[in-house]
Copies of this chain bind each other. A is one copy, B any other.
Amino acid sequence: MEILRTVREMQQRARDEKRTGRLIGFVPTMGCLHEGHLSLVKLARARADLVVLSIFVNPIQFLPGEDFFRYPRPVERDEALCRDAGVDVLFYPDVEQMYAPDHSVMIEETLLSKGLCGASRPGHFTGVATVVVKLLNIVMPDFAVFGQKDAQQLRVIQRLIRDLNCPVDIIPGPIVREWDGLAMSSRNRYLTPAEHQDALCLRRSLDHVEKRVREGELTVETLRTELAQRLARVPSVRVEYIEFVDNETLRPVERVEGAVLVALAIRIGSTRLIDNTVLGS
Protein backbone atom coordinates (compact mmCIF):
# COMPACT_ATOMS: atom_id res chain seq x y z
CA MET A 1 0.00 0.00 0.00
CA GLU A 2 1.30 3.42 -0.96
CA ILE A 3 0.85 6.33 1.45
CA LEU A 4 0.75 9.74 -0.26
CA ARG A 5 0.75 12.91 1.79
CA THR A 6 0.81 15.71 -0.77
CA VAL A 7 -1.79 16.91 -3.24
CA ARG A 8 0.81 16.98 -5.99
CA GLU A 9 1.81 13.33 -5.52
CA MET A 10 -1.80 12.17 -5.36
CA GLN A 11 -2.79 14.09 -8.51
CA GLN A 12 0.24 12.75 -10.36
CA ARG A 13 -0.57 9.20 -9.25
CA ALA A 14 -4.18 9.62 -10.39
CA ARG A 15 -3.11 11.04 -13.77
CA ASP A 16 -0.71 8.17 -14.37
CA GLU A 17 -3.39 5.67 -13.46
CA LYS A 18 -6.00 7.22 -15.75
CA ARG A 19 -3.59 7.26 -18.66
CA THR A 20 -3.50 3.45 -18.47
CA GLY A 21 -7.30 3.33 -18.47
CA ARG A 22 -7.57 1.77 -15.01
CA LEU A 23 -10.68 2.51 -12.90
CA ILE A 24 -10.14 4.45 -9.69
CA GLY A 25 -12.54 3.83 -6.79
CA PHE A 26 -12.46 6.29 -3.90
CA VAL A 27 -13.48 6.11 -0.24
CA PRO A 28 -13.12 9.47 1.52
CA THR A 29 -13.02 9.20 5.33
CA MET A 30 -12.04 11.14 8.44
CA GLY A 31 -10.18 8.07 9.71
CA CYS A 32 -10.79 6.19 12.96
CA LEU A 33 -11.90 3.44 10.63
CA HIS A 34 -14.53 0.87 11.57
CA GLU A 35 -16.51 -1.89 9.86
CA GLY A 36 -18.71 0.74 8.20
CA HIS A 37 -15.73 2.24 6.35
CA LEU A 38 -14.37 -1.20 5.53
CA SER A 39 -17.68 -2.16 3.92
CA LEU A 40 -17.25 0.89 1.64
CA VAL A 41 -13.73 -0.28 0.74
CA LYS A 42 -15.21 -3.66 -0.14
CA LEU A 43 -17.72 -2.00 -2.47
CA ALA A 44 -14.89 -0.05 -4.11
CA ARG A 45 -12.62 -3.11 -4.30
CA ALA A 46 -15.33 -5.04 -6.17
CA ARG A 47 -15.21 -2.78 -9.22
CA ALA A 48 -12.09 -0.62 -9.15
CA ASP A 49 -8.61 -1.39 -10.42
CA LEU A 50 -7.15 1.03 -7.89
CA VAL A 51 -8.77 1.75 -4.52
CA VAL A 52 -7.85 5.08 -2.93
CA LEU A 53 -8.90 5.83 0.65
CA SER A 54 -8.37 9.29 2.07
CA ILE A 55 -8.09 10.16 5.74
CA PHE A 56 -8.59 13.83 6.45
CA VAL A 57 -10.29 15.34 9.47
CA ASN A 58 -11.66 18.36 7.67
CA PRO A 59 -11.57 21.39 9.98
CA ILE A 60 -14.04 23.48 7.98
CA GLN A 61 -16.92 21.04 8.45
CA PHE A 62 -16.72 21.32 12.24
CA LEU A 63 -18.43 24.21 13.99
CA PRO A 64 -16.68 26.14 16.74
CA GLY A 65 -16.99 24.09 19.94
CA GLU A 66 -17.51 20.81 18.10
CA ASP A 67 -15.12 17.87 18.44
CA PHE A 68 -12.51 18.74 15.78
CA PHE A 69 -9.62 18.73 18.25
CA ARG A 70 -10.60 15.61 20.13
CA TYR A 71 -11.76 13.70 17.04
CA PRO A 72 -9.89 10.36 17.34
CA ARG A 73 -6.86 9.92 15.03
CA PRO A 74 -5.53 6.38 15.57
CA VAL A 75 -3.01 6.63 12.73
CA GLU A 76 -1.24 3.27 12.94
CA ARG A 77 -4.39 1.28 13.47
CA ASP A 78 -6.04 3.01 10.47
CA GLU A 79 -3.04 2.24 8.28
CA ALA A 80 -3.11 -1.42 9.27
CA LEU A 81 -6.86 -1.65 8.60
CA CYS A 82 -6.37 -0.12 5.14
CA ARG A 83 -3.61 -2.58 4.33
CA ASP A 84 -5.74 -5.52 5.44
CA ALA A 85 -8.77 -4.27 3.49
CA GLY A 86 -6.84 -4.09 0.22
CA VAL A 87 -6.57 -0.32 -0.12
CA ASP A 88 -3.97 0.48 -2.81
CA VAL A 89 -3.31 4.14 -2.03
CA LEU A 90 -3.86 5.86 1.30
CA PHE A 91 -4.11 9.63 0.77
CA TYR A 92 -3.26 11.23 4.07
CA PRO A 93 -2.79 15.01 3.72
CA ASP A 94 -2.39 17.44 6.58
CA VAL A 95 -4.45 20.63 6.92
CA GLU A 96 -1.71 22.79 5.35
CA GLN A 97 -1.77 20.59 2.23
CA MET A 98 -5.51 21.05 1.87
CA TYR A 99 -6.04 24.70 2.80
CA ALA A 100 -3.84 27.66 1.91
CA PRO A 101 -3.74 30.32 4.64
CA ASP A 102 -5.75 32.61 2.33
CA HIS A 103 -8.14 29.92 1.14
CA SER A 104 -11.24 31.76 -0.08
CA VAL A 105 -13.47 29.41 -2.08
CA MET A 106 -16.48 27.62 -0.61
CA ILE A 107 -19.18 25.47 -2.14
CA GLU A 108 -22.72 26.13 -0.98
CA GLU A 109 -25.66 23.78 -1.40
CA THR A 110 -28.75 25.84 -0.72
CA LEU A 111 -31.69 23.40 -0.62
CA LEU A 112 -30.94 19.90 0.68
CA SER A 113 -28.41 21.08 3.24
CA LYS A 114 -30.69 23.39 5.19
CA GLY A 115 -32.87 21.03 7.25
CA LEU A 116 -31.98 18.02 9.42
CA CYS A 117 -28.31 18.22 10.51
CA GLY A 118 -27.90 21.45 8.53
CA ALA A 119 -30.30 23.26 10.84
CA SER A 120 -28.28 22.56 13.99
CA ARG A 121 -24.87 22.61 12.29
CA PRO A 122 -24.95 25.71 10.06
CA GLY A 123 -21.98 25.73 7.69
CA HIS A 124 -21.31 22.03 8.19
CA PHE A 125 -22.41 20.97 4.71
CA THR A 126 -20.57 23.88 3.10
CA GLY A 127 -17.43 22.42 4.66
CA VAL A 128 -18.35 18.93 3.50
CA ALA A 129 -19.19 20.06 -0.05
CA THR A 130 -15.97 22.04 -0.35
CA VAL A 131 -13.70 19.24 0.82
CA VAL A 132 -15.49 16.62 -1.28
CA VAL A 133 -15.03 18.66 -4.48
CA LYS A 134 -11.37 19.21 -3.57
CA LEU A 135 -10.82 15.50 -2.90
CA LEU A 136 -12.54 14.53 -6.17
CA ASN A 137 -10.26 16.93 -8.06
CA ILE A 138 -7.21 15.49 -6.32
CA VAL A 139 -8.03 11.76 -6.54
CA MET A 140 -9.89 11.94 -9.91
CA PRO A 141 -11.88 8.78 -9.20
CA ASP A 142 -14.26 7.09 -11.62
CA PHE A 143 -16.54 6.44 -8.66
CA ALA A 144 -16.68 7.31 -4.98
CA VAL A 145 -18.43 5.45 -2.17
CA PHE A 146 -20.34 7.23 0.62
CA GLY A 147 -22.20 5.62 3.51
CA GLN A 148 -25.97 5.83 3.84
CA LYS A 149 -25.58 6.42 7.60
CA ASP A 150 -24.93 10.06 6.75
CA ALA A 151 -28.07 10.14 4.64
CA GLN A 152 -28.30 13.89 4.24
CA GLN A 153 -24.59 14.13 3.41
CA LEU A 154 -25.10 11.51 0.72
CA ARG A 155 -27.97 13.48 -0.81
CA VAL A 156 -26.02 16.76 -0.67
CA ILE A 157 -23.06 15.10 -2.37
CA GLN A 158 -25.25 13.57 -5.06
CA ARG A 159 -26.70 17.02 -5.71
CA LEU A 160 -23.22 18.52 -5.83
CA ILE A 161 -22.09 15.97 -8.40
CA ARG A 162 -25.17 16.63 -10.50
CA ASP A 163 -25.09 20.43 -10.32
CA LEU A 164 -21.35 20.81 -10.83
CA ASN A 165 -21.24 18.05 -13.50
CA CYS A 166 -18.44 16.26 -11.65
CA PRO A 167 -17.36 13.32 -13.82
CA VAL A 168 -17.77 10.69 -11.08
CA ASP A 169 -20.35 8.09 -10.06
CA ILE A 170 -21.53 8.04 -6.46
CA ILE A 171 -22.14 4.63 -4.91
CA PRO A 172 -24.08 4.54 -1.64
CA GLY A 173 -23.00 2.01 0.99
CA PRO A 174 -25.65 0.55 3.36
CA ILE A 175 -25.48 1.29 7.09
CA VAL A 176 -23.33 -1.19 9.02
CA ARG A 177 -24.35 -1.87 12.62
CA GLU A 178 -22.69 -3.32 15.68
CA TRP A 179 -24.03 -6.71 16.84
CA ASP A 180 -26.47 -4.92 19.15
CA GLY A 181 -27.87 -2.65 16.41
CA LEU A 182 -25.97 0.60 17.06
CA ALA A 183 -24.95 2.16 13.74
CA MET A 184 -21.16 2.13 13.35
CA SER A 185 -19.64 5.58 13.92
CA SER A 186 -16.23 6.84 14.87
CA ARG A 187 -18.01 8.86 17.54
CA ASN A 188 -19.30 5.70 19.30
CA ARG A 189 -15.89 5.72 20.97
CA TYR A 190 -16.98 8.70 23.02
CA LEU A 191 -19.79 6.68 24.68
CA THR A 192 -19.48 5.08 28.13
CA PRO A 193 -20.87 1.52 28.31
CA ALA A 194 -24.07 2.86 29.91
CA GLU A 195 -24.43 5.53 27.19
CA HIS A 196 -23.84 2.90 24.51
CA GLN A 197 -26.70 0.90 26.02
CA ASP A 198 -28.94 3.99 25.99
CA ALA A 199 -28.00 4.71 22.36
CA LEU A 200 -29.66 1.46 21.26
CA CYS A 201 -32.97 3.37 21.50
CA LEU A 202 -32.09 4.79 18.06
CA ARG A 203 -32.26 1.50 16.19
CA ARG A 204 -35.11 0.22 18.37
CA SER A 205 -37.31 3.22 17.67
CA LEU A 206 -36.58 2.96 13.93
CA ASP A 207 -37.47 -0.76 14.12
CA HIS A 208 -40.72 0.20 15.78
CA VAL A 209 -41.59 2.68 13.01
CA GLU A 210 -40.80 0.11 10.32
CA LYS A 211 -43.08 -2.39 12.06
CA ARG A 212 -45.91 0.13 12.39
CA VAL A 213 -45.62 1.02 8.69
CA ARG A 214 -45.78 -2.69 7.79
CA GLU A 215 -48.95 -2.83 9.91
CA GLY A 216 -50.39 -0.06 7.76
CA GLU A 217 -49.85 3.08 9.85
CA LEU A 218 -48.83 5.71 7.26
CA THR A 219 -49.61 8.97 9.06
CA VAL A 220 -46.37 10.70 9.89
CA GLU A 221 -47.77 12.59 12.87
CA THR A 222 -48.74 9.33 14.57
CA LEU A 223 -45.45 7.64 13.75
CA ARG A 224 -43.46 10.61 14.92
CA THR A 225 -45.32 10.78 18.23
CA GLU A 226 -44.73 7.10 18.90
CA LEU A 227 -41.07 7.46 17.99
CA ALA A 228 -40.66 10.49 20.24
CA GLN A 229 -42.33 8.66 23.13
CA ARG A 230 -39.88 5.78 22.78
CA LEU A 231 -36.89 8.09 22.81
CA ALA A 232 -38.35 10.03 25.75
CA ARG A 233 -38.22 6.87 27.89
CA VAL A 234 -34.42 7.06 27.93
CA PRO A 235 -33.54 9.87 30.38
CA SER A 236 -30.00 10.46 29.06
CA VAL A 237 -31.27 11.13 25.51
CA ARG A 238 -31.86 14.64 24.23
CA VAL A 239 -33.58 14.64 20.86
CA GLU A 240 -32.19 17.06 18.27
CA TYR A 241 -34.57 16.11 15.49
CA ILE A 242 -36.97 13.41 14.33
CA GLU A 243 -37.72 13.94 10.65
CA PHE A 244 -39.80 12.15 8.05
CA VAL A 245 -38.72 13.48 4.66
CA ASP A 246 -38.88 12.56 0.99
CA ASN A 247 -35.80 10.43 0.36
CA GLU A 248 -34.79 12.46 -2.71
CA THR A 249 -35.79 16.05 -1.98
CA LEU A 250 -35.46 15.82 1.83
CA ARG A 251 -38.72 17.79 2.07
CA PRO A 252 -40.96 16.92 5.06
CA VAL A 253 -43.83 14.58 4.24
CA GLU A 254 -47.12 13.99 6.04
CA ARG A 255 -47.72 10.43 4.87
CA VAL A 256 -45.47 7.48 4.12
CA GLU A 257 -45.82 7.34 0.35
CA GLY A 258 -42.92 6.53 -1.94
CA ALA A 259 -39.46 6.39 -0.36
CA VAL A 260 -39.47 8.23 2.96
CA LEU A 261 -36.33 8.81 4.98
CA VAL A 262 -36.76 8.70 8.74
CA ALA A 263 -33.76 10.52 10.20
CA LEU A 264 -32.90 10.91 13.87
CA ALA A 265 -30.29 12.98 15.67
CA ILE A 266 -29.85 12.79 19.41
CA ARG A 267 -27.34 13.68 22.05
CA ILE A 268 -26.28 11.41 24.86
CA GLY A 269 -24.00 13.30 27.22
CA SER A 270 -21.77 15.34 24.92
CA THR A 271 -21.97 12.83 22.06
CA ARG A 272 -24.11 13.52 19.01
CA LEU A 273 -25.43 10.44 17.23
CA ILE A 274 -27.49 10.04 14.06
CA ASP A 275 -29.31 7.11 12.53
CA ASN A 276 -31.89 6.60 9.79
CA THR A 277 -33.92 4.18 7.76
CA VAL A 278 -35.73 4.44 4.45
CA LEU A 279 -39.39 3.37 4.49
CA GLY A 280 -41.33 2.16 1.50
CA SER A 281 -38.38 1.70 -0.79
Instruction: Say whether A105 faces chain B, with CB atoms less than 8 Å apart.
Output: yes
Give residues of chain A (155-174) contacting chain B, Cβ–Cβ below 8 Å. 159-160, 162-167
- Name A's interface SS: mixed
- A133 touches B (CB below 8 Å): yes
Q: Are A107 and B107 in contact (CB under 8 A)?
A: yes
Once the chains bind, are A108 and B111 in contact (CB under 8 Å)?
Answer: no
Q: How many copies of this protein are present in the complex?
A: 2
Q: Once the chains bind, are B167 and A11 in contact (CB under 8 Å)?
A: yes
A138 / chain B contacts, CB cutoff of 8 Å: 165, 167
- The 8 lowest CB-CB distance pairs between A and B, nearest first, are A105-B163, A104-B111, A137-B165, A104-B110, A106-B108, A134-B165, A138-B165, A105-B109
A113: min CB distance to chain B, Å: 8
Selected contact of A105 from candidates B15, B99, B160, CB within 8 Å: B160
> Please, which residues of chain B bring their CB within 8 A of the CB of A50?
none
List 20 additional contacts besides A100-B162, A134-B165; criterion CB under 8 Å: A99-B163, A104-B109, A104-B112, A104-B163, A105-B108, A105-B109, A105-B110, A105-B159, A105-B160, A106-B107, A130-B164, A133-B133, A133-B164, A134-B163, A134-B164, A137-B165, A137-B166, A137-B167, A138-B165, A138-B167
